[in-house]
């Protein structure tokens, strides 16, 4: 499982000219699932994401989590995080099948939603993602269990 985490001042996802998810200060997260991912990886990264201390404290140090600042999450499904790029045309055979990934994405969003408010993009849709990266701060989180 892979997450591309971006600290944002605001972010939104649009599908067919309609905003389907929108946040102010918080984290915009691209979420990708590999062919062997399960709820175990989702549980681990949901806890990690909500506790990740990448927001500034009163001393200007990255010492607060999105939960600490009262921020929100915008989760965007992104199977292309599992692109295999040995050749010039990417292959996505390492990504989890769409029917399984949809279920796991919903599960991951619900786990994150236990601790913080969550908005999402739309799985399988052509999405336009807008964001104002704050910092910029962008972090890659990955977890694979054997």
Q: Which residues are known to be catalytic?
A: 78-80
User: If 0-12 CB within 10 Å is exposed, 13-18 middle and 19+ buried, where does residue 102 land?
Assistant: middle
What span, in angstroms and rounded, lies between the C-alpha atoms of 99 and 91? Answer: 18
Q: What is the DSSP letter of 116?
A: S
Please report, for residues 2, 82, 130, the alpha-carbon distance to residue 65 in angstroms, rounded to integers and kept in the order given.
Answer: 19, 27, 22
Handedness of CA 80, 94, 118, 145 (dihedral sign): negative
What span, in angstroms and rounded, lies between the C-alpha atoms of 80 and 91? Answer: 9
């Amino acid at each position: 499982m892979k997450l591309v985490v971006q600290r944002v001042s605001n972010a939104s996802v649009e599908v067919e000219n309609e905003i389907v998810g929108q946040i102010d200060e918080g984290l915009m997260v691209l979420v990708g699932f590999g062919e062997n991912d399960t709820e175990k990886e989702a549980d681990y990264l949901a806890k990690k994401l909500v506790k990740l201390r990448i927001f500034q404290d009163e001393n200007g140090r990255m010492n607060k989590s999105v939960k600490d600042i009262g921020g929100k999450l915008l989760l965007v499904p992104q199977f292309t995080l599992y692109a295999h790029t040995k050749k010039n045309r990417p292959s996505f055979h390492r990504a989890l099948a769409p029917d399984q990934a949809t279920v796991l994405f919903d599960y991951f969003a619900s786990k994150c939603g236990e601790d913080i408010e969550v908005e999402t993009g739309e799985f399988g849709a052509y999405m336009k993602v807008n964001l104002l990266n704050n910092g910029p701060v962008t972090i890659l989180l990955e977890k694979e269990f054997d």
